[in-house]
Structure 1
């Protein structure tokens, strides 16, 4: 026989469920925002990089980006500099790091550029004492 109990009459038991719908909504909106903005953060100088099967390098500090676009213009990070000013700028960068190890330099050169043009820039890097140079390529191998 199932008799009604006197204790619980007229009172409801507390609800033990958590409504996660608002949390999921907020997380989906944040995910969409990050998916849209992430590609914009890597925008820089448009360079048609060559392919390579090499693995990515591990980095402990932010590298200096030196780019040569298809027209042969030189960019230090995102700022265009004249070839005549390149040696002085590179010496400034090397002098700032004089106490420790020189910074890593990422050299991004368009695949259509003359080999001698890229080697002149690498020679300026070497003369300034920036010997930790990595040539940036597109991951993926043969095209």
Structure 2
């Protein structure tokens, strides 16, 4: 940036005019950038999302039904069928259930998708994630490969 000192009249007063040429250059560059990028941002990729369909839960005797809810003071309450269990009891019962099922079918080599027990978890809407996540983790640690969630479908029209 240069500053002009003096004028045609010969007095030594600095000029107070602003050189707007660099400002116009910057604005033109920004305008060109926006003209190039806006069509790119506006373009969308068509995506067909899957329709949600509720499948009827097949209740088999070897499946485990768990209910999880938040307790007082931020604690978690887990119910095996209708009996309240702690995390240790849940792990022990789940491991025993899986061991008994393997023994009932004649060994690990006879386990398949039809006779593999599943864990079905029902969670209250107000249940903290740590309770649901902890239950899923405990069931997976016990050896359950299939852990699913039971939900209630929303009413049509709402």
In structure 1, the residue matched to 2:55 is: 56
1:112 to 119, 126, 129: 126
Q: Could you list the runs of 5+ residues in structure 1 that have no partner in the other structure?
A: 1-52
Q: Could you list the runs of 5+ residues in structure 2 that have no partner in the other structure?
A: 1-51
Q: CA deviation at 1:83?
A: 2.1
Q: Which has the higher contact order (CA 8 A, sep 6+)?
A: 1
Change (3 A) 1:112 1:55: same
Q: TM-score, normalised by structure 1?
A: 0.55
In structure 1, the residue matched to 2:69 is: 69
Cα root mean square deviation, aligned = 2.2
Change (3 A) 1:54 1:141: farther
Q: Higher helix fraction: Structure 1 or Structure 2?
A: 2
1:130 to 137, 144, 148: 144
Change (3 A) 1:129 1:136: same
Q: Which has the larger radius of gyration?
A: 2
Does the aligned pair in 2 maintain the 1:54–1:139 contact within 8 Å?
no
